[in-house]
């Protein structure tokens, strides 16, 4: 990535697999659960000054604030000019929970009973705005809405703000709270969801994705400034890329052509070659067409022998958190670097023989010497995103 080096100095995560990065890592090494991946007994109160403030934030903003709090605590004291501190949070559907709830209020009680907080709670930019206002970060406050690639695109875009010198530090990631009756029905009726409730990436018996929710936030900081203040550097954003399939509203381009281009452009941006990549956190949704296209793309770029990068899909554990997925997976890659292990592709018990023989981690975690790693995200609408992350 041209310009300044971009360090990761803070990591925060809220997910059904675990709230907080250590719990999340433990969850990634656990047996695959069944059913929707929702955060049970969620309590937003620790992150708000009073209950009223929490009630005026949609669940998606609550998750974001919790993840940001953890990330900033780890990053430590940041003295950058507030005007050079940015926020960039992606989402797929924003505050859809508030929207559906208030539609029901209107239909049952009339227009005058609709909450005046409907609009600020449902806005897709609300998660980014929430953490910006909470911490007084006055630089660019933006969001990306690119379906399931939103979290990846947000981190890539935020890293460019730091590399280009517009910001010295940016909180970046993705958040999603998509569980409403209508949203679940819509995904179900388009036959995208798993009937079994099992997320089985690259498995011969995969039957769709399992919906999830959560948030992941990274603190991205100019490397030299992080070093100067004595921050612990956790990793580095080496590059990123974004492409479009320009093919179909939901189906990926056959053969993974768009994904091939995206991964290659991201490596070009990072200044590395395929033989230097040691790990890929795949999009791996457990749908028939996505997994086939991505496996073909990986095979075309990296080959099909065991010396290729270790490939895993953490969606066997996390499920598919839509716009938050890429952020959760970036967190997973950084934690894999810190722990020296790549989590297995949970839920994979019988590899699909029709897929290319890429180097998928299965059965248990794989030891590795951390190096450049890709994190892939592919969204409805043909949005492709790839991050290149490196160890500290």
Catalytic residues: 148, 283, 320
Q: Where do the DSSP E strands lie in the chain?
A: 6-15, 18-19, 85-90, 141-142, 169-176, 214-222, 235-244, 279-281, 310-312, 341-342, 366-367, 373-379, 383-391
Task: Tell me the CA distances in angstroms from 138 to 92, 130, 132, 141, 390, one per residue in order.
Answer: 24, 12, 7, 8, 28
Q: Give the C-alpha separation, 187 to 232, whole Å.
A: 41
Q: What are phi and psi of 227, to 5 degrees?
A: -65, -40
Q: Give the C-alpha separation, 276 to 263, whole Å.
A: 13
Contact between residue 50 and residue 116 where contact means Cβ atoms under 8 Å apart: no
Q: Give the C-alpha separation, 197 to 200, whole Å.
A: 9
Decide the pairing of beta strands 279-281 and 310-312. parallel
Q: Give the C-alpha separation, 290 to 282, whole Å.
A: 10
Count of alpha carbons within 13 Å of 275, Cβ hemisphere only?
A: 0
Sole residue written with tokens 């379906």: 147
Task: Tell me the CA distances in angstroms from 213 to 14, 37, 87, 241, 262, one per residue in order.
Answer: 9, 7, 20, 25, 26
Sole residue written with tokens 């949203």: 183
């Amino acid at each position: 990535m041209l310009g300044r080096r971009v360090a990761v100095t803070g990591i925060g995560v809220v997910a059904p697999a675990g709230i907080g990065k250590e719990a999340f890592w433990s969850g990634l090494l656990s047996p695959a659960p069944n059913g929707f991946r929702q955060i049970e007994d969620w309590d937003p109160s620790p992150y708000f000054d009073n209950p009223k403030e929490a009630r005026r934030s949609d669940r998606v903003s609550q998750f974001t604030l919790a993840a940001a709090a953890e990330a900033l605590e780890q990053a430590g004291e940041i003295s950058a000019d507030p005007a050079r501190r940015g926020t960039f949070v992606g989402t797929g559907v924003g505050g859809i929970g508030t929207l559906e709830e208030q539609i029901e209020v209107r239909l049952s009680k009339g227009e005058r009973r609709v909450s005046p907080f409907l609009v600020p709670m449902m806005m897709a930019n609300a998660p980014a705005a929430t953490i910006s206002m909470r911490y007084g970060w006055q630089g660019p406050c933006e969001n990306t809405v690119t379906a399931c690639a939103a979290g990846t695109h947000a981190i890539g875009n935020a890293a460019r703000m730091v590399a280009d010198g517009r910001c010295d530090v940016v909180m970046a990631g993705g958040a999603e709270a998509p569980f409403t009756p209508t949203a679940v029905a819509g995904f179900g009726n388009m036959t995208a969801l798993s009937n079994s409730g099992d997320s089985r990436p690259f498995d011969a018996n995969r039957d769709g994705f399992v919906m999830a929710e959560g948030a992941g936030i990274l603190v991205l900081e100019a490397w030299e400034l992080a070093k100067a203040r004595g921050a612990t550097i956790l990793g580095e954003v080496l590059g990123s890329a974004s492409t479009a399939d320009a093919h179909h509203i939901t189906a990926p381009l056959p053969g993974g052509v768009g994904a091939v281009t995206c991964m290659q452009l991201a490596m070009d941006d990072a200044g590395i070659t395929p033989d230097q990549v040691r790990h890929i956190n795949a999009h791996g949704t457990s749908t028939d067409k996505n997994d086939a296209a991505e496996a073909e793309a990986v095979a075309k770029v990296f080959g099909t022998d065991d010396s290729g990068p270790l490939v895993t899909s953490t969606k066997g554990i996390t499920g598919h958190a839509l716009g938050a997925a890429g952020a959760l997976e970036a967190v997973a890659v950084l934690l894999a670097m810190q722990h020296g292990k790549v989590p297995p592709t949970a839920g994979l018990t019988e590899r699909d023989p029709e897929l290319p023989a890429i180097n998928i981690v299965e059965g248990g975690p794989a030891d590795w010497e951390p190096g450049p790693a890709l994190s892939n995200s592919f969204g409805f609408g043909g949005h492709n995103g790839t991050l290149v992350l490196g160890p500290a």
